[in-house]
Amino acid sequence: MNVAAMNSLNNLQRLESDSIHILREVAACFERPVLMYSIGKDSSVLLHLAMKAFHPAKPPFPLLHVDTTWKFREMIEFRDHRARELGLDLIVHINEDGVKRGVSPFTSGATIHTDVMKTEALKQALSLHKVDCAIGGARRDEEKSRAKERVMSFRDANHVWNPRQQRPELWDLYNCRVGPGESVRAFPLSNWTEADVWHYIRAENIPVVPLYYAAERPVVERGGQLIMADDDRLELQPGEEIRTEKIRFRTLGCYPLTAAVRSDAADLDAVIAETLSSRRSEREGRIIDFDQSASMEKKKREGYF
């Protein structure tokens, strides 16, 4: 962003510079960092910031995607295209043990599917690649327990987060020291809001998965929510039928666990206008959050991102 005309930074410029600072600290202080690339809008911003932070060099760490095998097909295409286009290393990790056991969001339920294919898979990947810092796109405004998490969030050798024993974090002086087997999850977007993310995407012209824009797509209505029929693994229950509706997504995850919203917002400006006037928070479309009260804090303590 061009600030030549100004003598101080505006909100988005401050957020950008602070995030770049965090990414550079990670690169300088850790031996084997990875950038957790989950293909959503926050990841797209994170990746863009990483390209900026190390310019004219490439980011000095690979991308890691934990693939639950249930992501939208368009997400996977977008992921492979972006990594190729930017010339970055992409590690894709699937929990093969979970695949063998036939774990799926339909037969196993949202909680078990997420535990095995996401949380377990993530721990496997981090241990396998001896990752000492995993950079993620989580924001503090997403959810209450995230609001208290550090930018550099320490995990013990079992990947466990202890919310009552967090390291004090002052100024932008990040403690990056870990012992053998221990690691840190770094969250450069901690201070961004959903609105900041969208405004930045527009200001910087950052590509995002087309699923964020409204289009005619095949859906079924299930439990009051719209689920997209992304492939033939979605089995219809009695009384259900697939119909075509103009929908889009506010967040992206596993297609059976991510509810769509009816919308006419087919381009970026329309999406921003809709987001800002929305009376519902974005995580409402995430089915796993509603399993139990304080569910995110519990998942995070167990090692979920």
Partner 1 sequence: MGALQNNTQLRFLTCGSVDDGKSTLIGRLLHDAHLILDDQSQSLEADSKRFGTVKDGIDYALLVDGLEAEREQGITIDVAYRYFQTPKRSFIVADTPGHEQYTRNMATGASTAELAVILVDARKGLLTQTRRHSFIAHLLGIRHVLLCVNKMDLVDYAEDVFAAIERDYLAFAAALDFESVSAVPVSALNGDNVTAKSGQMPWFNGKCVLDFLETVQVGAGKDSAGARLPVQWVCRPDGDFRGFAGNVSGAALRPGDAVVIEPDGAPTSIQSIETYDGNLDVAVPGQAVTLTLADDVDVARGDVIRHADSPTQTSDQVQAHLIWMSPQAMIPGRQYEIKIAAASARAWVSDLRYAINVNTLEHVAQKTLSLNDVGVCNLSFDRRLAVDAYKACPRTGAFILIDRETNETVGAGMIDFALRRSLNLTRQKLSLDKEVRSESLRQKPAVLWFTGLSGAGKSTVANIVDQKLHLAGRHTYMLDGDNVRHGLNRDLGFTDADRVENIRRIAEVAKLFVDAGMIVLVSAISPFRSDRDMARDLMQPGEFFEIHVDASLETCEQRDPKGLYARARRGEIANFTGISSPYEVPKAAELRIDTDAVDPESAADMIIKLLDKR
Q: Which is nearer to partner 1, 236 or 276 (CB)?
A: 276
Q: Which is nearer to partner 1, 205 or 237 (CB)?
A: 205
CB of 293 to partner 1, least distance (A): 8
Enter the DSSP assignment of 188: T
Taking the CA of residue 271 as centre, how many other CA atoms within 13 Å lie in the half-sphere pointing to its CB?
Answer: 28
Q: Which is nearer to partner 1, 124 or 295 (CB)?
A: 295
Return the structure tokens found at 269.
Answer: 């400006």
Give the C-alpha separation, 189 to 174, whole Å: 15
Which H/E stretch holds residue 111?
helix 109-114
CB of 82 to partner 1, least distance (A): 16
CB of 57 to partner 1, least distance (A): 4
Beta strands 90-93 and 243-248: pairing type? unpaired
CB of 258 to partner 1, least distance (A): 16
Q: Which is nearer to partner 1, 64 or 296 (CB)?
A: 296
Give the C-alpha separation, 8 to 11, whole Å: 10
Give the C-alpha separation, 50 to 89, whole Å: 13
CB of 191 to partner 1, least distance (A): 6
Q: Which is nearer to partner 1, 98 or 285 (CB)?
A: 285
Q: Which is nearer to partner 1, 204 or 240 (CB)?
A: 204
Q: State the greatest distance between any 2 C-alpha atoms of the chain, in Å, as a whole number.
A: 64
Task: Determine the straight-line distance between the first and last CA of the chain, rounded to whole angstroms.
Answer: 30
Beta strands 215-222 and 243-248: pairing type? antiparallel
CB of 86 to partner 1, least distance (A): 12
